[in-house]
Structure 1
């Protein structure tokens, strides 16, 4: 597979998303409409250039995404004691959540990507209250370090996820 050319900051974005395994997920509370933030592990589906979550139907964020598919995720580099906190690489991603039907081609692709990153959760994929959620990224704000912030469009995000 030919990897699309990415500029330096695009490569830094790709490296950050590949290095980290969890994100802070922001949804809109289905009950009151307020902001709700939780932690979710995520996988990268390089075939569809989407992020994949595996969530419980009992979780508040799952109901929130079903009621309002617009979401935001914050992925940050690991904190280092000897580095300035304001220099921490991070990206805030915006996207649209959807839930592929169990057994569909999209579900199979999402499951494959998720289990490639988290093989130990394979038994959870058979639990009836768990589902895969795919995130089509629509934009991002990347901070690659102090003074290195930029907006990232969906085309470059897709390139970064296609690694």
Structure 2
């Protein structure tokens, strides 16, 4: 088994321990729109999965313009400096799997593994799964520790999201 770098381990830990992200989409008029969404990792494809309402602005934005960005950050601690908080911004493309398809089932399974209490929401006709394929990222692991992350590393992390010692 190959030992992963410290930074890859820290990025894996960040994506495993944080359950929500700021989702950036592009509005009809070209302006950015940001919202907060829960996310899960779908290991068979190495993609991020969100579960969204058709009535949400970000859903319409993603369907019309599938470019998206997700910011996952460690929450601030009162009294601690905020400039060095670990975070990653992932950029990618969103797709909406067809309800009942194998891809949809994989997204549902990954999402419910992380959010079992969302089971009833998956039965609502208004909600859908969106899979986001990250194509690149920018990882900050503290003050002065920033790096670019390529799609291969992101897929590797999302394909086996559990943090090992």
TM-score between the two structures when normalised by the length of structure 2: 0.94
Question: Does structure 2 retain, via aligned residues, the 8 Å contact 1:22–1:75?
Answer: yes
Q: Which runs of 4+ in 1 moved over 4 A?
A: none
Question: Partners of 1:49 and 1:120 in 2: how far apart?
Answer: 23
Structure 2 unaligned blocks of 5 or more = 161-165
Match 2:62 to one of 42, 61, 65: 65
Question: Does structure 2 retain, via aligned residues, the 8 Å contact 1:6–1:159?
Answer: no
Paired position in structure 1 for 2:33: 36
Match 1:25 to one of 23, 26, 34: 23
Residue 7 of structure 1, CA deviation: 1.1
Match 2:74 to one of 64, 68, 77: 77
Match 1:123 to one of 120, 141, 144: 120
Question: Partners of 2:30 and 2:123 in 1: how far apart?
Answer: 31
Question: Does structure 2 retain, via aligned residues, the 8 Å contact 1:6–1:160?
Answer: no
Residue 6 of structure 1, CA deviation: 2.3
Structure 1 unaligned blocks of 5 or more = none
CA RMSD of the aligned region, Å? 1.0
State yes or no: 1:54 paired with 2:54.
no
